[in-house]
Chains A and B, each alone.
Chain A
Amino acid sequence: MREEIAEAAVEQARRAGATYAEARMEDSFTETISARDGALESMERTEDNGWGVRVLVGGGWGFASTTRSDSHAVRDLVAAAVEIAHASATVRKSPSLFYASDFDPAPSAEVAEYASPVQRDPATVPLSEKVALVLDACNEASKGAHVNTANAHLYSREQRKYFVSSNGLRLRQRLTSTGGGVAAHARAEGASYHRSFDNYHQAGFEYVESLNLRAVAQRVGAEAGALVVAPWVEDRRTTVVLGSQMLSLLCHESCGHPIELDRVLGAETAFAGTSFLTTDKLGGFQYGSPHVNLTADATLAEGLGTFGWDDEGVTAQNLPIVRAGNFVGYLSSRDTAPAIGRSSGGCARADGWGRMPMVRMTNVSLEAGPGDTTLADLIAQVDDGYYLDTPSSWSLDDKRLNFNFSTELCYEIKNGKLGELRKGASFSELTPTFWGNCQAVAGLGEWQLWGFLGCAKGEPIQSAAVSHGASPALFTNLNVVKGGK
């Protein structure tokens, strides 16, 4: 689409009385290739082009978006956004939690560009190469004992954004992400079990090549077959070592969501809920043990939540969230940060051209522990417990305090070594209690980054791509039970 549309929309909004206006155009191309039971099940490619304009008029917010680019599109869409803003202004409070004075027309002119580092552009990779890779992975996963159904997929996305604001910003970004996954479903003795792997990074096709999907598929297929006939986990309160992938979801659900400042202030109360991390806790709440350090880093290499600027034009930042167990920071935007006396943390992101920006996770990660402690070292510290990895279900209350997770993989730990496979492990805990029981985090050599394509938030729903990194960690006093008991 033509960039002049965005610039004309901002100008039109100013003429219509907007004290602040921004327009964002996005073109994206997404490709997913899926195989199932040895056959290529689907090949999906999506071109998504459109633009939106957000205005602050008469003290109210309005946002409107469209795929149209005809000669009347700017006039019609700006008029729609302004009409919506006027309606918003009829149901306002003063003072307001959601209309910060930060949105003023003060000039901050900047013209700049950002692009993901890419070694091998996925668009240039022959389709035959991708198809061969995904079919091979699917076939290898199928070879596991008792495997009833196996599937594999490859994913790539290129997103181009152009952002214009009434205070002079003109920002271009080109974000490329790739990844893939494999899953096997085993059935035996009247039982069924699911084992899977998937991961995505902001990178070119070189990341897909580094995944070694053939070996991953062989492991997934073999584990599915072994797990379906494994004994159920035994219920007990015990010591556990959690794998990096499992901890990445805990970073997401029990840290990433409750530190969204808009959620803390009430913007999501009617849908996803609020947060136990209320603003009075900032800087004075023990979120976890001294081993727990969490960071939200929008500059992290290969993170899906990495960018040059957020969708309000604020530069990407690396924010401390938890330091030695103490809660010190939120994810914030221009309209929410003033509520805690800070400036925006640069976390306002939008799911494509059709959505307004809101506070989203970037890359919220558990920092590696000091030294070179390995996963094996952590397991060696456990006389009797479990090693758990790969989430299979997750559920949290509406303050992100009480959670329940289930895992695909569970090994017994006996006398410092991995023992038998067990299936169906679940655990429930309160968030600060769980992180407070963290006794050790493995070192940087074990730290892995996991990409999530579909973090849901907001109405209409917005799906954000985010990443979380973690090293395996050891937790005491966790109540592990058979899933769904």
Chain B
Amino acid sequence: MSLNLIGQEQALARLEAALKTSTAEQTELLLLRRSQAVTRYAHGEIHQNVYQDDVQVGVRVVVNGAVARLTVHSLEPDALARTLAQAVATAKLLQPNPLFKSLAGPQADSTGPATAPYFYASVAGQLPQTRADAVREIVAAAEGAGFASFGTYKATVDELAVVNSLGVRAYAPSTTAYLRALFDNGQGTGYADALSRDADELDAAALGRTAAEKCRLNQNQREIAPGDYAVVLEPDCVADMVRFPVGWGLHARAVQDGYSFMIDKLGQRVTGAQVTLWDDARDPRCRPLAIDYEGQPTQRVNLITNGVAEGVVYDSYTASQEPGKTTTGHAYNPFEYGDAVLPANVLMAAGEASISDLVSHLERGLLVTRLHYTHCPDPQRVVATGTTRDGTFLVEDGKIVAAVRNLRFTQSVLELLDTVEELGQAKLCQDWWSQNGMGDINYYVPALRIGRCTFTGVTTF
């Protein structure tokens, strides 16, 4: 289906026309139009190939201090007017929420450019055959090496627009392309992926080479005993680890609810001095976007600087709960995650070392390619647990000496980041959850050489 963008003029005009009919004290209309194509392959053939064109409009109204939010999957004027009227009628039946102060007001610079670095025709105009051709190239690389191949090509076009009765008027189109290759040799797997706003940046051949190289190494696995090991974590692993302080600590909601490790820690050291983390949704090295889901300009927020706790991110609601705070432009997608506030474009200070360099500096330890299904058994200590996958290797005297079976790690991420010894080159990536549609947090983080990571169990493969 050829994709016709709604466009800034039409999107804002539709929302503003509806806004004019509102009788609420405050009204917000949030549009997310998402067109997404996903091509999946397994055992060297495309087994799922889908496309969805969806439009959602969230209507939030405030009446006598009560807040109601209704969502409708239509941008038709009648549907918007009906939903708005229902939202007002609903809010009139509710009690006031004394914690809610106001919707966000207008700020300068609330409209992103309609062109790069957010939006690329390589994604918006992509044909199904283009994805199939990229998949065929990867499948051929796997078959040339004697491996089975699995993976995904995902192409997404978003149009995000917000208007509200306080004068916010914002629009940002964006594109995202993501390509993944996983090769299986029957004993172990190899992995590579790439994420970009521009599909032309995805190099199927290069991903095929990397996945094949990893897969060749990941054979004749040894089982090693659980325990403490020095590690080199590739950027995908670092993203998975950093997700824990991000999700359970580095936003105002976690602080205000009383479970963040940042409580009473501002200005104090919380990780090793090598660690500097910040959020900046406008940094082109990440997955940039000019506005958040309240139409507020996204701002850079320093989270941890040289190991010292520096700040957390806010949306308009959490900012209103603390004197002197204003939103930092971090309202998260309410259609998927409710009233959440999160750092969603996290950057970490990086170095120049390649993964090979980091491995060469490891006397004895493990190289970990990727993690799987991580979770947080103790949020206050920011403890992570999960298993390794797609290539875990024993390193001795700076050289990979064997593939090892997957391991379960259980480790406080703050303690892990306390023993960072060397920063490698960074990569744009997502944590395992976000890669797979269960979040939308982006990271530009380096590979890390780390002094100690605790592994608590082994698998039998």
Contact = CB atoms under 8 A, between A and B. Distances in A.
Interface of A: 34, 36-37, 39-50, 52, 60-68, 76-77, 79-81, 83-88, 90-93, 96-99, 127-128, 131, 135, 148-149, 185, 187, 191-192, 194, 265-267, 269-273, 354-356, 358, 392-399, 401-402, 404, 406, 424, 426, 428, 430, 456, 458-461, 483-485
Interface in B142-165: 148, 150-152, 154
Q: Which of B36, B52, B97 is packed against the most chain A CB atoms within 10 Å? A: B52
B50 A84 contact: yes
Given A61-B48, A67-B53, A402-B408, A39 B259 contact: no
8 contacts: A39-B98, A50-B54, A148-B258, A356-B48, A397-B406, A399-B461, A426-B385, A459-B40
B41 interface: yes
A402 B42 contact: no
A287 to B, nearest CB: 15
A354 B155 CA distance: 16
A152 B72 CA distance: 24
B42 A269 contact: yes
Given A84-B51, A265-B42, 12 more contacts: A65-B52, A77-B1, A84-B128, A91-B46, A92-B45, A131-B93, A192-B379, A358-B48, A397-B459, A402-B457, A428-B408, A459-B38
B412 interface: yes
Given A460-B52, A461-B436, A185 B99 contact: no
B51 A63 contact: yes
Contacts of B73: 47-50, 67
Interface string B84-126: 0010001101111111100000000000000000000000000
A186 B93 CA distance: 31
B377 interface: yes
A419 to B, nearest CB: 23
Interface residues of B, number: 95
B91 A43 contact: yes
A36 B95 CA distance: 13
A362 B150 CA distance: 26
Contacts of B83: 47
Interface in B196-253: none
B387 A355 contact: no
**Interface SS majority for chain B:** strand
Contacts of B68: 42-45
Contacts of B383: 483-484
Contacts of A46: 70-72
Contacts of A404: 375, 377, 385, 408, 410, 457
Nearest to A132: B95
Contacts of B48: 61, 63, 267, 356, 358, 458-459
A387 B461 CA distance: 31
A446 B267 CA distance: 52
A267 B184 CA distance: 13
B133 to A, nearest CB: 8
B159 to A, nearest CB: 14
B136 interface: yes
A264 B410 CA distance: 27
B375 A65 contact: no
A54 B289 CA distance: 33
Interface string B403-416: 00010101010000
Contacts of A187: 258-259
A260 B201 CA distance: 35
Contacts of A98: 42-43, 45, 47
Contacts of A270: 40, 42, 150-152, 180, 182
B378 A483 contact: yes
B436 A397 contact: no
A284 to B, nearest CB: 18
Contact of A271 (B74, B96, B436): B436
Contacts of B287: none
Given A88-B132, A459-B436, A80 B1 contact: yes
Nearest to A27: B73
Contacts of A426: 377, 385, 410
A91 B45 contact: yes
A43 B90 contact: yes
Contact of A87 (B46, B71, B139, B410): B46
Contacts of B90: 43, 45, 127
A358 B49 CA distance: 12
B373 A397 contact: yes
A128 B435 CA distance: 41
Contacts of A428: 408, 456-457
B280 to A, nearest CB: 26
B446 interface: no
A194 B437 CA distance: 26
A356 B50 CA distance: 8
A296 to B, nearest CB: 22
A70 B286 CA distance: 38
Contacts of A272: 373, 436
Contacts of B258: 148-149, 185, 187, 192
B438 A271 contact: no
Nearest to B384: A484
Of all A-B residue pairs in the complex, the 8 with the closest CB atoms, nearest first, are A484-B383, A461-B437, A80-B1, A484-B378, A87-B128, A483-B377, A98-B47, A406-B377
B113 to A, nearest CB: 27
A93 B143 CA distance: 12
Contacts of A430: 460
Given A88-B49, A356-B48, A67 B74 contact: yes
B10 interface: no
Interface string B322-358: 0000000000000000110000000000000000000
B55 interface: yes
A233 B416 CA distance: 23
B449 interface: no
A42 B69 contact: yes
Contacts of A49: 73-74
Nearest to B89: A127
B273 interface: no
A460 B50 contact: yes
B24 interface: no
Contact of A269 (B38, B135, B182, B460): B182
B297 interface: no
A266 B49 contact: no
Nearest to B133: A90
Contacts of A90: 46, 129, 132-133, 136
B99 A37 contact: yes
B136 A39 contact: no
A47 B385 contact: no
A430 B459 CA distance: 8
Given A77-B1, A98-B45, A185-B258, A484 B54 contact: no
B378 A91 contact: no
B372 A266 contact: no
Q: Which of B49, B73, B387, B461 is packed against the most chain A CB atoms within 10 Å? A: B49
A60 B136 CA distance: 14
Contacts of B377: 392-393, 404, 406, 424, 426, 483-484
